Amino acid sequence: MTARILDGKATARTIREELRAEVARLTGLGARPGLGVVLVGDNPASAVYVRSKTRACEELGMHGETRLLPATATTGDVAAVVAEYNARPDVHGILVQLPLPPQVDATRVLDLVDPAKDVDGFHPENVGRLVQKRPRFVACTPAGIMELLSRHEIPVAGRRAVVVGRSDIVGKPMALLLMHADATVTVCHSRTRDLPAVCREADLLVAAMGRAGFVRAEHVKPGAVVIDVGMNRVEDVAQARDLLLPERFAEFERSGYALVGDVHAPSVREVAGALTPVPGGVGPLTIALLLKNTVRAAGASVATAES
């Protein structure tokens, strides 16, 4: 058995096309959806993510802008940009690109974002609303995974789900969304005893711990759906040979690096029933849900103005 590949790129394209008409409608009402991004420092990966997000905005007719601050920026510097975006009616969504440099208090900065513009779903008010099953905005990666499961007609209700990783950005909101969809959810982490055995209980396994190729065949129940959230850069030849499928190893030899997930794809694809690829799986959905949240924020601003 070879796992069915869950194409995140195709699903993301569908979501973005569905948003196009609403963007046009809101623009006609004078509320062109706008996303304001704060980028601090020169982290190459962050810069790539931000460019892809703003380019996606422009392709849909949305407004996207980025305020670039130096790596030496203080918490006050970042907070000032957030305050400006909070006050601007043409900015409906605010994204503070993480990670921030160590001298910047990320918690304080994220707490300053207007919850009505918190399209990343990180503000404690929005997290609390998710806990109570009345969400405004949900963290984009977990929300994108739920879209992927729904659009590929993968049932969640009544199934055993295991989430490996307990971050505020992915693991915790993922567990809540699955629980709200009537799955029985276990959250695993570095202190979990006999992790492979716990993972093998899952009909639906979400790997989000940030360790390249950590989840292997012995972690996977035959036929399980495996969602790979990881994005890790690999430059070591021996590691790449272990983690990559043959066709991707040829790409590695040409470029000198490869992006891999938290799942050991060569072994897991022989056991799982379905698997998301890296790249091209969860990543495009994260951006699509960021756009969707920004459009929803713009729509809410129009509704508020009309009431």
Please give the positions annotated as active site: 53, 97, 120
The closest alpha carbon to 164, from 12, 268, 266, belongs to 268
- Report the distance separating Cα 226 and Cα 221, nearest Å: 10
- Six token digits for residue 306: 């009309």
> How many of the other CB atoms lie within 10 Å of CB of 144?
27
> How many of the other CB atoms lie within 10 Å of CB of 303?
10
Residue 139 bridge partners (DSSP): none
Q: Are 119 and 93 in contact (CB under 8 A)?
A: yes
- Six token digits for residue 168: 């505020």
Q: Are 200 and 194 in contact (CB under 8 A)?
A: no
- Report the distance separating Cα 86 and Cα 65, nearest Å: 14
The closest alpha carbon to 154, from 307, 305, 3, belongs to 3
Instruction: Tell me whether residue 138 is exposed, middle or buried, using C-beta atoms within 10 angstroms of its C-beta: 0 to 12, 13 to 18, 19 or more.
Output: buried
- Six token digits for residue 294: 């920004």
- Six token digits for residue 56: 């996606």
- Six token digits for residue 142: 């977990």
